[in-house]
Amino acid sequence: MKVTVVGSGYVGLVSGACLADVGNDVLCLDVDAAKIRILEEGGIPIHEPGLLEMVRRNVAAGRLRFTTDVQAAALFGEVQFIAVGTPPDEDGSADLQYVLAAARSIGRYMDGYRVVVDKSTVPVGTADKVRAAVAEELAARGAQFGFSVVSNPEFLKEGAAVDDFMRPDRIIVGADDARAIECMRELYAPFQRNHERLLVMDVRSAELSKYAANAMLATRISFMNELANLAETLGADIELVRQGIGSDPRIGWHFLYAGCGYGGSCFPKDVKALVRTGREHGHDLRLLNAVEEVNERQKLRLVDKVVARFGENLRGRRFALWGLAFKPNTDDMREAPSRVVLKALFERGASVLAYDPVAMDETRRIFGEEPRLAYAARPMDALDGADALIIVTEWKEFRSPDFARIRAQLKQPVVFDGRNMYEPGVLERHGIEYFGIGR
């Protein structure tokens, strides 16, 4: 099947590569010429495990191509995925200018029936706006080509996106006509060979499902962080509490880890957008307001612990920091807790020597020539002479370090563990003063 993917960022590039990998002929469009140049030269503009190899394999096979030509993209695929960014406006609502611009381009140049698929995370009612945008462009041309608008939200975890697309838990298709549904069934057939994963529903339910999923996961994280802070006061251990409640099958184990808050491109943006949608329709989503408030406060929890240990004035102190990306296996720094931690440490006069396996270039782009921030080539290199180690991201390579060496290299053997990677008793036996979250 011929497929056009409008937007070659995180969602678009993963979707395009995975669709090409099962035999489709895919053309990825982006108006960012620099991004397309990177792709055409054999690179990718993001870090995602397994994606580079998949892109190169399908480019070599002739199934995956890239372009900045909007007209060529609209003419190419019967299925037109819209996978552009929907950044939050100042009021928290999703900015749909890029989605609607993509829809207008499709309507302006299409030469036959098209299935226009909203892959971007968009508010309920966006499909109606996309349909109107395409129809307006067709009317302006005097053209009468048929088209359908489908909601097909993505459920990709950064760091595991390729596997999530190739082995989906579910494939949600929101559509109201049989031709579009059959087209989507055919497109996704290779991804559900052993059992049916495709859920067909009305468009608005599909649009809401994406926001509801992310809001639920964010709620679990903020709930555990609230509980962790209480556990510290009560003298309980949140890790034991997690085991106690996670073993209940009604609750399960996922997203029950306390820490220093969530970040990334999805949870913060989608919670804000859902709150805004509720407000626009007369519903005050008080629970989600609290989820967001708890998360923003939790990002400062590590800094509060540092201040309690070393004092408010941190001038002359240097801290080692492990982990900059908002989560492991990505270089994404959007809404990352590390940004809040770094800013708060700098405001108090501290300097930081940081290490992250893949996100240091992105951090340099964000912070520029910040004189109080330097970077280490290896995790242990960050420790020499530091007043303490602060862990913000739970990369695998941090799981089992040489604790004796940590103690020897730090000026003071103090560890602030924002992801509860270590058992307090183990570090105490190594003579390290340990501060976790809810431990």
Q: Which residues are catalytic?
A: 266
Three-state SS at 424: helix
CA distance 55 to 14: 9
Q: Report residue 352: phi and psi, to 5°.
A: -135, 135
Q: Report CA-CA distances (Å) from 92 to 86, 220, 275, 279.
A: 11, 21, 8, 11
How do 79-82 and 114-118 pair as beta strands?
Answer: parallel
Which has the closest alpha carbon to 118: 70, 82, 171, 80?
82
Please say whether the beta carbons of 336 and 263 come within 8 A: yes
Contact partners, residue 424, CB within 8 Å, separation at least 6: 434, 436, 439
CA distance 180 to 184: 6
H/E run at residue 4: strand 2-6
Dig out the tokens for 157 from the structure.
């975890």
| Helix (H), strand (E), coil (C) string for 367-423 | HCCCCCEEECCCHHHHCCCCCEEEECCCCHHHCCCCHHHHHHHCCCCEEEECCCCCC
Kindly tell me the burial class for residue 60, based on how many C-beta atoms sit within 10 Å of its own C-beta (0-12, 13-18, 19 or more): exposed
